[in-house]
Amino acid sequence: MRCSSRTARIAGEGVDAWIVHDRAMARREQGEDVIILSLGDPDFDTPRVIREAAQRSLDGGRTHYSPIPGETALRLAIAQHTKRTSGFDVRPEQVTVFPGAQAALFALAQCLVDGGDEIIVPDPWYPTYEALLRAAGGEMVTVPLRPENRFHLEPDVIEQAITPRTRGLLLNFPHNPTGACLSRDTAHAVAALCEAHDLWCISDEVYAALDHAGRHTSPLTAPGMRERGAHVSSLSKSHAMTGWRCGWAVTSVELALHLEHVARAMFFGVSQFVQDAATTALTVRDDEAPANRASYVRRAQVVVEELSTSKHIHVRLPDASMYVFADVRGTGLDGKQFAERLLDAEDVSVTPGEGFGASGAGHVRITLAVGEDLLREASRRIARFADSVRP
């Protein structure tokens, strides 16, 4: 039996990002003591107040179909949260709830991209972007984020990549994997390009809650971006809710109606009790989530402190997010070789930078998703391995 040609398009080169992680997990399942720093899954439990809300919802029988675009209470909470954090007015009818930000991005591509359209994406890029754009018939055009510029976006490089086939931009700031943020000037320069060339701007801001220093500015805050923008976020990283699968897109009302049609065809609504828990996460004050988010700053400092002892690794603190993106080119290995040999030599798994695109070559992404003591031990092993390699 023959599968569609689409199956080849949706595989994408990004699958290489998980090769070392999958091997590490297989070893762990066999009982080996491997330190996993290769997956962006917070090690914290979802805060108790959120879990209790879900339990009350389950006990109350909230296990039926929900409205396709989301429960009214959650859409209102997301609208208020977006105004509070991003500074622009949002009405609940502009919000569409999805089972995770990934589903929101997939649906947006289905609504905005036609066959042959080009979407500009900064490189390094999140590994699923190529597949979701190609599934919609589009092509991903990458623009480099240069290590020597701390992986910050350069608007003139975007402008040079715009062609008559360019349909829009897909941005991921605060950035995964590098932790770079958009400054206000850069965000407004990007907005000006979208306005001048009539482009959509899909802004994946899942890590905005991990910007503790206030360095990030959303390009959608600029004048004229409300109708041509799509703001995507979730609770996965901010509230340690990766497994709950609850994200959203904030768009124009017109685009929200199209997203609702895709949602109806794709998953027919997010679970009621999950949405009740998400509403609690956005509206009820608790001490756990902020403390958990703040811990990433301390953890990043631990990694940078330990890796800086190696003469072959170049590393700096990220602007935001829950990763450290380390330059291992001084070892003479590329990121994939480094990650594979590190796992064999020191029982530590990290993600090769090559899995995020050409600009990530020679780097590895280290996830700050274990406690400080274990993270310090892992970082010492990484530094020890780097210094054992002959450049």
Q: Which of 241, 258, 283 is the last residue of a domain?
A: 283
The per-residue pLDDT for 261 is 98
Per DSSP, the residues of 90-147 read --GGGEEEESSHHHHHHHHHHHH--TT-EEEEEES--TTHHHHHHHTT-EEEEEEPPG
Domain of residue 294: give its range. 6-45+288-388
The per-residue pLDDT for 191 is 97
The per-residue pLDDT for 246 is 98
Q: Which of 235, 256, 283 is the last residue of a domain?
A: 283
Q: Is residue 341 part of a domain?
A: yes
The per-residue pLDDT for 391 is 67
Same domain as 192, residue 327: no
Same domain as 238, residue 148: yes
Query: β-pairing, 118-123 with 139-144?
Result: parallel
The per-residue pLDDT for 200 is 98
- CATH code at position 182: 3.40.640.10
Same domain as 368, residue 279: no
Same domain as 202, residue 350: no
Q: Which of 241, 263, 283 is the last residue of a domain?
A: 283
Same domain as 323, residue 232: no
Same domain as 368, residue 244: no
Q: Is residue 1 part of a domain?
A: no
The per-residue pLDDT for 12 is 60
The per-residue pLDDT for 213 is 86
How many structural domains compose the chain? Answer: 2
Same domain as 367, residue 250: no
Question: Nearest-CA neighbor of 365 among 391, 338, 384?
Answer: 338
C-alpha to C-alpha distance for 128 and 14, rounded to whole angstroms: 6
Same domain as 60, residue 38: no
Same domain as 71, residue 199: yes
Beta bridge partners of 369: none
Give the strands of the sheet with 351-352, arranged side by side. 323-327, 363-367, 351-352
Q: Is residue 77 part of a domain?
A: yes
- CATH code at position 356: 3.90.1150.10
What is the dihedral sign for C-alpha 168, 173, 179, 180?
positive
Per DSSP, the residues of 164-185 read TTEEEEEEESS-TTT-----HH
pTM attached to this predicted model: 0.95
pLDDT along the chain (391 residues), means of 10: 83 72 94 95 96 98 98 98 90 98 98 97 95 95 96 97 98 97 96 98 96 92 92 97 98 98 97 98 94 94 98 96 97 96 97 95 96 97 95 67
Same domain as 217, residue 106: yes
Contact 132, 106 (CB under 8 A): yes
**Contacts for 7 with CB less than 8 Å, ≥ 6 apart:** none
